[in-house]
A and B are shown apart, each in its own frame.
Chain A
């Protein structure tokens, strides 16, 4: 059983297009995240949602819009794709408890290539 799944695994598209990446977790977690891994393998948090509400929004262009229809899903929509958006995007989830940190479980990643 896949804990955190992402679709698609690979995405190749032209500049200017709009695309979406989907993420689903079956762990019952209340918090989900999107990370971006650039060509140098550097991982950086983009967004975090807790119980379908946005709680962290790092400095990300507003062309990126996360949407959480329910606690188990966090989708990432990207408008007007640019070359610099080419990266691997990872979804993750965790169960946040007060005064405790819980492990983040990562999806397999979506490799986005913008031509």
Chain B
């Protein structure tokens, strides 16, 4: 069974600084990979996804993520964080051809002034 690890429970970043949120997965083949964001009291919104092809994927709100097969990682990055980025971020995987999502436990991003 696939699993997802987000090693950082919470991260604090200064506004304007760069951000990297870590995600590692365990799966026999290359899964479909996703990053979702959950703002306080809100549902989940898809930031970006990776199926195949270019390992650097661009998403909404200025986020990008890089798939590294050798490290089984799919880290999320943003060059300059805004206060409105403060939220919970979830990495998720799905087996190819199926729609079941397995989520990591999330990373809470705090943005300091």
Contact = CB atoms under 8 A, between A and B. Distances in A.
Interface of A: 4, 31, 33, 35, 40-45, 48, 56, 90, 92, 94, 96, 98-104, 106-109
A66 to B, nearest CB: 15
Given A106-B43, A108-B43, A109-B43, A101 B105 contact: no
Given A40-B105, A43-B90, A108 B100 contact: no
Interface stretch (B21-29, B44-52, B65-73, B77-85): B44-52
Nearest to A111: B41
A42 B100 contact: no
B94 interface: yes
Contacts of B32: 101
A109 B94 CA distance: 21
Contact of B42 (A102, A104, A108): A108
A100 B97 contact: yes
A41 B88 contact: yes
Nearest to A40: B105
B55 interface: no
Complex A-B, nearest 9 residue pairs according to Cβ-Cβ distance, in ascending order: A43-B103, A106-B43, A106-B44, A108-B43, A101-B32, A41-B106, A96-B99, A42-B105, A94-B99
B100 A48 contact: yes
B90 to A, nearest CB: 7
A48 B38 CA distance: 21
A23 to B, nearest CB: 11
B38 to A, nearest CB: 8
28 contacts: A4-B43, A31-B99, A33-B99, A35-B101, A40-B105, A42-B103, A42-B105, A42-B106, A43-B44, A43-B90, A43-B101, A43-B103, A45-B100, A45-B102, A48-B99, A48-B100, A90-B44, A94-B99, A101-B49, A101-B94, A101-B96, A103-B49, A104-B101, A106-B43, A106-B44, A106-B45, A107-B43, A109-B43
